[in-house]
Amino acid sequence: MTLRRVLLLLASITLGVLFVVVLLRIGKINLRQTLQQLQSVSRLAFVKLVLLNGLLIYLSTEKWRCIDVAQRLSSDSVPSRITSFAVTSAGMALGLVLPVQIGMAAARTLGTYVHGRPLTRGTVGTLLEQSFDLIIVAFLAGASAVTWFFRGGALMWTASASVMMVLALLAMAPSIRLIRGLGGPCNDGKPAPRNRILLGFRELQHSSLLNASLARRLVMLSAVRFGVVVLMAAQTAEAIRVHIPLFHMAAAVPFVAIATVISVTPGGIGVNELTSVTALHCFGTPLAVAAQWSVVNRVLVTASCFTVAACAAILWAVERIITRTTAAHTKTAEIGLGKC
């Protein structure tokens, strides 16, 4: 690791710590009370959070696999669903200790190394998969902004979010036609560009990824993922017996997601919490309540992520053992038949 990268890492960690200190001061958080709240969380509440986190990772895995089908060549091997889930859960856990943009891409790139073209299928595939999450939260941020501007409630946000979802789905086909059209005149009779970015864009234009049906499916999966994230936030609030209206959570999550994407702190720490507190306060949640919840939410979500990652690693190890045992038995049987 170069000196520059070390300095950037230290700066990122320092910035995250600074944001946490600001949060503690603004929210007047009582750390002893926070510890007591964490200790009071029941096992059932934590199991519910783990199950929701598992569902969140499963949806992310399915999105990535949909994209991988379109990217995959005939010479590439196909990772099993358990392997894909394990890699995604590892990426989710890494995204809590590394900058979010790096964690998932790094895990999937390493996870697809033995399956062929890891940069394309791991890194690029992850960026494409996460871009649909960003599209959804960008549209839903508009719904939240409208609700806040007109001082609306749950009904207005639900209606606005429904309209935005329909617009997002309708925008897919024209967007794909536009991307295809941008390179149409430029590609006729011209040699492939040497620039990697331009070459990648040209390959994208001619790939099966630019498919309206696939795009709409990915948008719907991202919308379901958004719903699961909201339910997870509500579950952590319920676990510590803090009342925050569900629509406040739903209205705040888009801004938190966008802030986390552009954050440079490890796991978006500090940035995530400050954004959630600010957004929740704008929709009527008391500042102290929002701040207290944001700290507990970080701890519980982190614990649930690592729990899911550990369970996924065990499943992956069991699958590997079964696969190797089956292959050994098959090879033994073939040798026996050959001798006969």
Q: Which amino acid, one-letter code, is at 6?
A: V
Task: Report whether pLDDT(190) > 70.
Answer: no
Q: How far is CA 161 from CA 143, 173, 174, in A?
A: 5, 20, 21
What does 184-197 look like in DSSP terms, one character per residue?
Answer: HHHHTT-PPPSSHH
DSSP-derived letter for residue 99 is -
Task: Indicate the pLDDT class of residue 1, thresholds 50, 70 and 90.
Answer: low
pLDDT at 152: 92
Q: Which residue has the higher pLDDT, 56 or 198?
A: 56
Confidence of residue 85 (pLDDT cuts 50, 70, 90): very high
The better pLDDT of the pair 217, 208 is held by: 217
Has residue 197 got a pLDDT over 60?
no
Domain spans in the chain, listed from the N-terminal domain onward: 46-320
Q: Is the pLDDT of residue 181 over 80?
A: no
pTM over 0.85: yes
11-15, 145-149, 221-225, 255-259, range with the lowest pLDDT: 11-15
Give pLDDT, residue 74. 81
Using a 10 angstrom Cβ sphere, with 0-12 exposed, 13-18 middle and 19 or more buried, the burial of residue 7 is exposed
pLDDT in tens, 276-318: 999 999 999 999 999 999 999 999 999 999 999 999 999 999 9
